[in-house]
Structure 1
Amino acid sequence: MSSLRIFDIAASAMSAQNTRLNATASNLANVDSVAASPEQAYRARVPLFQTVMDAAGVAGVRTDGVVDSQKPPEARYEPGHPMADAEGYIYAPAINTVEEMANMISASRSYQNAVDVMSTSRDLMLATLQIGRS
């Protein structure tokens, strides 16, 4: 395995965690949004990842896209709300703020770990070059 392959692996991890952070940020930004119908309600964004293997058996990660959650929106009975339907309901996204915050912390730490892997690999490569100069 090429010693430079570690940078590709770490970069794929950083890209995946960036997608995860963006989806979480979108979910948290829309947690208090409401709609007049279930079809118009915001649906939480969920990134899809896949492990990819190269010919040498080295794994990386690929983002297959971001899909909408299948959880139905929450119906809230608020007949005085300007967006209430004929029965007096408004519809809010089914987003758990605590889960989203935990997801954000996990993605942030995973991203930082990938940055640390790249930094350590660079430092080790530079140290190896210094040994060769001696």
Structure 2
Amino acid sequence: MGAFDMLRIANTSLGMHQTWLDALAHNIANANTVRRTDQDAFQGQMVIARSRPDGGVDVAGVAYTDPEGRMTHSPDHPLADENGYVRLPELDMSTQMTQLIMAQRGFQSSVQVTKNAQDTYNSALQIGRG
């Protein structure tokens, strides 16, 4: 595998991890979004990654959590229905934070591969100059 291949693969990984990080940030920011019971709950985004034949990775799509969410009894909330319920998203914050760490580490690894490939190119150029 050449340095150009490393850059291409790392670039696809950077793009996928950035999309994953964006989706997780959106989910975490809206984890406590309250809706009326006659509305759909906030739908969290789950990025679906797919490997490519050339060694890279693509975003195959985005899946969404259940719009039913979960009903929570909160009679003092201004959006509560006549029975005192509101609708919250079906998101587990510990899962979101775990995935955030994984996405950050994947992004950081891809950045490091890019830096290593650039160093390889620079070394090759220095050999040619000397």
TM-score (norm 2): 0.90
Match of 2:72 in 1: 76
Query: How many residue pairs are counted as aligned between the two chains?
Result: 130
What does residue 24 of structure 1 align with?
A: 24
Whole-angstrom CA distance in 2 between matches of 1:38 and 1:28:
23
Residues 9-40 of structure 1: per-residue CA shift (max 9 Å, x gap): 10110000000000100111011111112642
Q: Given that residues 23 and 46 in structure 1 are in contact (C-alpha distance below 8 angstroms), is that contact kept between their aligned partners in structure 2?
A: yes
Give CA deviations for 1:85-116 in whole Å, capped at 9, x if unaligned: 23321011111111111111111111011010
| Residues 2 and 123 of structure 1: CA distance in aligned 2, closer, same or farther (over 3 Å) | closer
Cα distance in 2 between the residues matched to 1:13 and 1:128: 25
Which of 116, 127, 130 matches 1:131? Answer: 127
What is the TM-score with the length of structure 1 in the denominator?
0.87
1:99 aligned partner: 95
Contact 2:12 2:56 in 1 (8 A): yes
Amino acid across the alignment from 2:65? S
The runs of at least 4 consecutive aligned structure 1 residues that moved more than 4 Å come to none
Unaligned runs of at least 5 residues, structure 2: none
SS of equivalent residue, structure 2 residue 86? strand
Q: 1:4: Cα distance to partner?
A: 1.1
Q: Residues of 1 paired with 2:13 and 2:73: CA distance?
A: 43
User: 3-state SS of the aligned residue for 2:126?
Assistant: helix
Point out the more displaced range, 1-10 or 42-51.
1-10
In 2, Cα distance between equivalents of 1:3 and 1:78: 57
Aligned-partner SS, 1:59: coil
Q: Is residue 36 of structure 2 the alignment partner of residue 40 of structure 1?
A: no
Gap runs ≥5 in structure 1: none
Between the aligned partners of 1:108 and 1:125, the Cα distance in structure 2 is: 26
Give the secondary-structure state (helix, strand or coil) at the position aligned to 2:15: helix
